[in-house]
Structure 1
Amino acid sequence: MGTVGALRTLAPDLLIDYLADTALFPYGEQPDHVLISRLVMLLTEATRLLGSTLVVIGCNTASTLALPALRQALDVPVVGQVPPIRWAGRVSRTRTIGLLATSATARRNYVRKLHTDFAADCRLIIHGGRALADLAERAFAGEDLPLTSIAHEVAQLFSQPGGENIDTIGLGCTHYTFLMPFFRQLGLRDVLWLDPAPAVAQQVLRLVNTSAAPPATARDSAPQSRRGVFLMTALPEHTAEFTSHLKAFGFSGCRAFTLSGACA
């Protein structure tokens, strides 16, 4: 949703459909082969049903695992979101960078390859765990989180060997965008926080602008035009409350989506 927020800022009229695989949250707890198969099936059906002309994988775990399979299976451009290690390697002065991620993303070979290819002269320190993802979900729901919980997770970076030299921390999970206000409250004045969501949004718009058939906008006057839909593989227990949080992202409600392609 962080990327959706960035897209809404840069292109308010862009037609965006969102598919949340809430039935399998969190992805970091699932076996790799299950995730790859499910992602291909879900997005093949969703793009067919919705007529999508571009797909954004708004999840680091999914991107680091399934991008090749998705690009092979889908006949539209696929934009992934991966940990901002390359960016961190460009801006770190101490050459020590931190990465906050899920445990699944942290163990990916893709992450090690990013480090080797783009920041080999930097020490990369990673903290991967589920706690921050859960906190981010609560932040999205508007909860006022205890700063001590956020500080405890971030401290897992600085407590590792060489952690005292960290001057740049990248967000390796798309949910963590919602924790940025809390990260900034920690008082780490010498630390630069890197959220890749705005950069991903800019890449999406570059592709849209160079496409022969760019996606429709919400203001199109054609009879077949429509508003973007928010689809979920498992609806939340308190749907009305959840829907109220979606309005800030341009969605009026949520609907159920199944692998049969049916929406309710």
Structure 2
Amino acid sequence: MNNPIGVFDSGVGGTSIWREIHGLLPKESTIYLADSKNAPYGEKSRDEIVELCIKNTELLLRKKCKIVVVACNTATTNAIDYLRSNYDIPFIGIEPAIKPAALRTKTKKVGVLATKGTLSSGLFYNTSKLYTEGIEIIEQEGKDLVKLIESGEVRSNEMKTLLQVYLKPMLLANIDCLVLGCTHYPYLIPILREILPNQVKIIDSGEAVARQTKIILEKNNLLNQENNQSIENIFYSNAASTKVLSSLLMENNYQVSQLDF
């Protein structure tokens, strides 16, 4: 079935998830929505987030997507239950990789860098409670990180200063795992490695999400069986193309199309 896999995020961050999905499932067509006009989701109310997720889902359904990946931690934690209850197609969500961090930590101290919308959600609370008995979680809101990434300011002095401030309490607490609780944040891994000691492991959800996408496609007999010539990877943005997104697409000879949504 060559209907595309739909992926949406509050901007370019979900391309970190798209990369993993495309790498694992290269025979699948994809449509990516970058809702950069409304980024960041993490500073919005739950009702606003749900409405934005409905809008994105409806567009992907009109594009005949067979499955939707909500490539945004904040959108998942606030809206995934609503989406699964109101639409017939499968949804894959994203949540901070608390479980693998809890299994890997030796110091029993885990840092979580995420948006306000994720940290304050019920899903994050329940996941943390389920897997972190005897483990201290040091939470930090990554305020303004998404805005800087969307502006292509990943290597800016402002970004480095913010990260140093956000990471300091975690390092003082002796964390040995840092969970990236936003799909934008994998773009920060090179600069994070410059700041963090070598013993601190950086953990994100991308690979696990790609594996889960494959499992659900197989379970529902939705994998593409057609030849490679029919495969398309299409990217839409409702704001001027950001430096990060443009850079990603240029690397792979993809193009982003402007779309009002």
Normalised by the shorter chain, which TM-score bucket?
0.7 to 0.9
Shift of 1:147: 6.4
Residues 218 and 227 in structure 1, CA contact (< 8 A), matched pair in contact too = no
Paired amino acid for 2:257: C
Runs of 4+ in 1 over 4 A off after TM superposition: 215-218, 238-242
Alignment: residue pair count? 247
Deviations 1:227-257 (A, max 9, x none): 232122x230x57995453233563232304
Paired amino acid for 1:72: S
1:31 corresponds in structure 2 to 45
1:82 & 1:242 partners in 2: Cα distance?
22
Query: Which of 200, 205, 209 is the matching residue for 1:191?
Result: 200
Q: 1:179 and 1:216, CA in 2 relative to 1: closer, same or farther beyond 3 A? A: farther
Structure 1: segments with no counterpart, 5+ residues: 259-264
Paired amino acid for 2:146: A
Measured on the aligned residues, the alpha-carbon RMSD in Å equals 2.6
1:56 & 1:218 partners in 2: Cα distance?
23
Q: In the alignment, is residue 228 of structure 1 matched against residue 233 of structure 2?
A: yes
Structure 2: segments with no counterpart, 5+ residues: 1-14
Query: Any idea what SS the aligned residue of 2:123 has?
Result: helix
Residues 20 and 210 in structure 2, CA contact (< 8 A), matched pair in contact too = yes
Q: 1:202 and 1:242, CA in 2 relative to 1: closer, same or farther beyond 3 A? A: closer
Residues 2 and 175 in structure 1, CA contact (< 8 A), matched pair in contact too = yes
2:249 corresponds in structure 1 to 246
1:20 & 1:241 partners in 2: Cα distance?
12
Q: In the alignment, is residue 137 of structure 1 matched against residue 140 of structure 2?
A: no
Query: Any idea what SS the aligned residue of 2:195 has?
Result: coil
Query: Any idea what SS the aligned residue of 1:130 has?
Result: coil
TM-score, length-scaled by structure 1: 0.83
Paired amino acid for 1:69: Y
Q: In the alignment, is residue 169 of structure 1 matched against residue 178 of structure 2?
A: yes
Structure of greater Rg: 1
1:22 corresponds in structure 2 to 36
1:203 corresponds in structure 2 to 212
2:138 & 2:260 partners in 1: Cα distance?
38
1:61 & 1:111 partners in 2: Cα distance?
10
1:229 & 1:40 partners in 2: Cα distance?
20
Shift of 1:209: 2.7
Query: Which of 116, 132, 135 is the matching residue for 1:119?
Result: 132
Aligned residues: percent identity? Answer: 25
Residues 15 and 216 in structure 1, CA contact (< 8 A), matched pair in contact too = no
